[in-house]
Structure 1
Amino acid sequence: MAPSNLTIEHVDKPTDPAAIALTGGDISLLPDLGGAMIRALLLTPGVGEIFTARDENGSLVGFALFSLPGQLMLSTEEQQKHGFLDLMGKLSPEGQKYYVETMGKEVPKMNDQFFGIEDAERNTYWCNFAMVREDYQGKGVARALFELATKDAAKTGATIALTTTNARNVPIYEKLGFKLHGQTIMPSPWVDWPMWFFSKETKQD
């Protein structure tokens, strides 16, 4: 029987507005989207760095995945062949156009504007994913993952940067020592979605 402190529920459809928009309104493609991003970073040598948390049985309870300074997720043919091209083939024409315009132009422009860094995603130690299993949230897992990442980024003095589309994450990143640079709303034909912009310096004075 599940612990009494857990809420167990069936979620029929994801409600994250960013997921809805970036799949062109077809959230059945969410596994394709996430898989393409993760595989691009993990299966392409020299592009990404991953930190994981596992329980005593070896089960994954959390991970953080970064693209290294000088790299950009899904920016090369080698990265795109790990599922992204298949995703593009499944998106509607409207969804394809929105993804290319938004993730290829509008989001990078917002990143540069809020961080004050040219080509910000490529020129920082960029956190693409940070996930902690629900039953391990609030137990220091995210802090431990980011402490390891900070040590790695500090070897070159790189700024750690990220965005989140979930308001629930805002106070979490602030507690982890990240600076909030602001928020914007990204429009889409399906639903508008928010973005918050965070960074953390690692360079020692």
Structure 2
Amino acid sequence: MAPSNVTIEFVEQPTESLTEECVAVFSSVMGADPCSIALTGGDLSLIPSLGRTIARSIALCPGVGHLYIARDDAGDLIGFTLFTLPGQLMGSTKEQQVAGKINEYLATLSPEGQAYFAEAMAKDVPKANDEMIGIKDTERETYWCNMAMVHKDYQGKGVAKAMFQLAFKEAAKTGATMALTTTNIINVPIYEKIGFKYHGEKTMPSPWLDWKMWFFSRDTQSEK
């Protein structure tokens, strides 16, 4: 159970200001994450821009995804989870690319960073997801969790679990499997504890450092 001063909510129509709050949480959590380092071409100053691109391309495009948030009693955002619906894929349409300002983000990367980002996001990561989770075109065919972030001051207090409990109910309405990856090993037992099946890990090389992904899925039929 989340702390009594925390409110969990499913946001049907996210705003630009809310996505900026999400970016702030993302940046505080992912600032030293090896995946972030790789996807920013080793430029840590670009981590907020990376988070902004992902969050905006999903949250600001109607019918693409679902956003769940956690606020404390002061009204501050202390966590969020962001999913794409079955049939949707982050950044795959012109609308999402414009909303997420993906081209603007790519322009800030070095040539080496641009090449790596394109190869990783379009080929290497999707291939790893399909192989490890065992579903063809996993990210498009599942209720896919693109982001799950909780501010460090609230980690380990049930905030993530409470947000996922809302997501489980919404995912069940789609009839699709839920799936996600994490790039931090400390999250592995957390996802297993809340009901995800663990599928193993894989190392992803990059010119800056190697990083790891851990893979999970969950059958939603029990939530109906």
TM score, norm. by length of structure 1: 0.90
Q: CA deviation at 1:110?
A: 0.7
Q: Which stretches in structure 1 are left out of the alignment for 5+ residues?
A: 1-10
Equivalent residue number for residue 56 of structure 2:
39
Specify the alignment match of 1:99 in structure 2: 117
Query: Structure 2: which amino acid aligns with 1:149?
Result: A
Residue matched to 1:75: 92
2:78 matched to 1:61? yes
| Mapping of residues 1-205 of structure 1, within 5 Å | 14-81=31-98, 82-204=100-222
Q: Which amino acid aligns with 1:27?
A: L
Question: Is the Cα contact below 8 Å between 1:32 and 1:83 reproduced in 2?
Answer: no
Displacement of 1:145 after TM fit? 0.4
Write out per-residue CA displacement over residues 136-174 of structure 1, whole angstroms, 9 at most, x where no aligned residue: 222211111001000000012211100011111111111
1:57: how far off?
A: 2.3
- Matched residue, 1:8: none
Distance 1:181 1:60 in 2: 31
Q: Looking at CA atoms only, which structure, 1 or 2, has the larger radius of gyration?
A: 1
Amino acid at match of 2:71: R
Distance, in Å, in 1 between the alignment partners of 2:59 and 2:134 is 28
Structure 1 partner of 2:7: none
Contact 2:180–2:215, Cα closer than 8 Å, also in 1: yes
Q: Which amino acid aligns with 1:90?
A: T
Aligned residues: 194
Q: Give the TM-score of the pair, scaled to structure 2.
A: 0.83
C-alpha displacement of 1:15: 2.6
Matched residues in 2 for 1:15 and 1:62: separation? 18
Match of residue 5 from structure 1 = none
Moved more, 145-154 or 20-29: 20-29
SS in 2 for 1:189: coil
Distance 2:74 2:43 in 1: 36
Query: Identity across aligned pairs (percent)?
Result: 61
> For 1:67 and 1:101, how far apart are their aligned partners in 2?
21
Deviation at 1:115, TM superposition (A): 1.2
Q: CA deviation at 1:63?
A: 1.0
Q: Deviations over 1:13-66 (max 9, x none)?
A: 933111111111111111111100000011111101001111222221211110
* 4+ long deviations beyond 3 Å: none
Alpha-carbon contact 1:17-1:191 (below 8 Å) kept: yes
